[in-house]
Amino acid sequence: MTNHETTNVLLIEDNPGDADLVRLRLVEGQSPVKVNCVNRLSDGLASLTVETPSVVLLDLNLPDSRGAETFRRVIEHAPNVPVVVLSGQDDEALAMKAVHQGVQDYLVKGNISSKHLERSIRYAVERQALLRALEISQKQKIDFKNQFLSHVSHELRTPLTCIHQYVTLLLDGLAGPLAPDQGDHLKTVLKSVNQLHAMIRDMLEAARAESGKMRIERRCISMGELIHQVAAMLRPTADEKHIGLELGIDQRLPLVHADPDRVLEVLINLVDNGIKFTPPDGAVMIQANVVEADPGSVYVSVSDTGRGINPETKNLIFERLYQDPEAVDNNRSGLGLGLFICREIVRLHEGRIWVSSEPGQGSTFTFTLPVYSLPKLLSPVIVYQGELRPAFVLVRVDLIPNSNPPRGNWKETCMRALDILSRCIYLDKDLLLPPMGMAGAAETFFVVASTDLQCAGIMTTRIREQLEKLEELKDKGTIAISTLPVEFLPEKADESIEQQVQTVADCVSQMVLKGLERKHAPAKSAQQVN
């Protein structure tokens, strides 16, 4: 701001005397000023929508807003405009709070000189501009890095695909028979190609994790099944090295609430590492169990009989790009991103991951995942201010394919429908339960509405309207939406709120298991598309 530039001030002040005084001080200053004065917050916000002033001078107590609420709404409305609060003698504490929460400065009314005011405005404008520049530059840096990585990954994949295609052509005998040695050599090439491929994937994954763009789609999954899947995938690799792959899965293991593809990624990474760092004739063990002290989590561990990890490096191995300096043998260990990605995936699931190891005694990597718990999922919507709501409404959405088996990429269609559903609910009022039923070829989703029938009706309409826009559903399937009010048993005086939630959850899960039989659905309203 130079002295010759006009400063546009939006003054939001309801006291005419104070407003006049501030206006006078502004005009007395050295630099040219234009003042737009309004006396209500709503008028101020409206003015901010029309034009952006250089600075807002804001009284906190206005006819339509008081205290902290006033500056919060201004900042929310115009985050890039500097705000200077005008406080009374008795509310300096509030003004200080405002400064902590994004306001640039405060002035105490009655003590305002024109010089003081001018300087405060100038600094506020400068600081806000610096903050904005910093924000933009940080975002640009991250964007640039991601763009670069995405570009590099694309460029590397193209020749890699070509190598992959020709090697597999040869290995599959499509270019004539191979001598046994030649086949072995080509298998080595293919192994390296796959390693390169994995590195490229990890590089992108790590960048995504770092910029908070990694996504997880949680479902209700069985850890036991996933472990068996990983064991089947990696057993050939283990057999090749004469390493035993053992499983120890607790029979009473509860289901977990997690993204199956991501958890598979973590498991593959840990088991693959275990095999890599275990000498021939050793063993890798995958275990899953529940610990008495922490019943809300499933503990999954991967132990090996390798050389173990030094105590000093234990805390470093989950960091990005960490490479074990002692691992300079014939194992090409990749980019050092695998465990970093594992940690980020586990973190996104609100779990923990750690390693325990003694040098020479092998290592055990353990991670936790939250148990799938209907009461835990339900409680945010059915408990209100420490009280159980008397009723709520279940909304059920069925996607029914036009043919059996379904045509086309039905799984993909369902995933996209689920994505649409998740955007239809209001996070503070509604809750989207993960897909729970598989009725034949149809995919079933349940949405729980926290409020009364009328609100559930509005949500149902919203869901229907959005799903109707899903093009592939139009020619591949139909949508059926039904609603069902759930009433609870009268509250028992001696039951804690947790117990009551548990009772409700039991009732809901029974309904879900029964597939919400039609006779139980008096308020059913089926809607069909197509």
- Interaction site with other proteins (CB under 8 A): 150, 153-155, 157-158, 160-162, 164-166, 168-169, 172, 174-175, 193, 197, 204, 208, 213, 215, 403, 407-409, 412, 416, 471-472
Shortest spacing between CB 124 and other proteins, in angstroms: 39
**Through-space distance between the first and last CA atoms of the chain, rounded to whole angstroms:** 61
- Between 139 and 151, name the residue whose CB sits nearer to other proteins: 151
Shortest spacing between CB 340 and other proteins, in angstroms: 18
- Between 190 and 507, name the residue whose CB sits nearer to other proteins: 190
- Between 155 and 387, name the residue whose CB sits nearer to other proteins: 155
Alpha-carbon distance values, 73 to 78, 186, 219, 323, 444 (Å): 9, 65, 37, 48, 41
Main-chain phi, psi angles of 527, to 5 degrees: -125, 135
Shortest spacing between CB 267 and other proteins, in angstroms: 19
Shortest spacing between CB 164 and other proteins, in angstroms: 4
Instruction: Kindly provide the b/e burial profile for residues 122-148, where b requires at least 16 CB atoms within 10 angstroms of the residue's own CB.
Output: bebbeebeeeeeeeeeeeeeeeeebee
Of 10, 7, 9, residue with least CA distance to 41: 10
Shortest spacing between CB 137 and other proteins, in angstroms: 23
Main-chain phi, psi angles of 64, to 5 degrees: -110, 10
How far apart CA 231 and CA 241 sit, in angstroms, is 15
- Between 158 and 510, name the residue whose CB sits nearer to other proteins: 158
How far apart CA 422 and CA 430 sit, in angstroms, is 10
Shortest spacing between CB 247 and other proteins, in angstroms: 26
CA atoms within 13 A of residue 9's CA, in its CB half-sphere? 27
Shortest spacing between CB 213 and other proteins, in angstroms: 8
- Between 157 and 352, name the residue whose CB sits nearer to other proteins: 157
Shortest spacing between CB 365 and other proteins, in angstroms: 27
- Between 307 and 476, name the residue whose CB sits nearer to other proteins: 476
Strands 442-449 and 437-439: antiparallel
How far apart CA 343 and CA 333 sit, in angstroms, is 18
- Between 172 and 292, name the residue whose CB sits nearer to other proteins: 172
- Between 193 and 486, name the residue whose CB sits nearer to other proteins: 193
CA atoms within 13 A of residue 479's CA, in its CB half-sphere? 28
Alpha helices (H) in 403-491, listed in sequence order: 410-424, 453-468, 471-476
Here the tokens at position 179 are: 């001598």
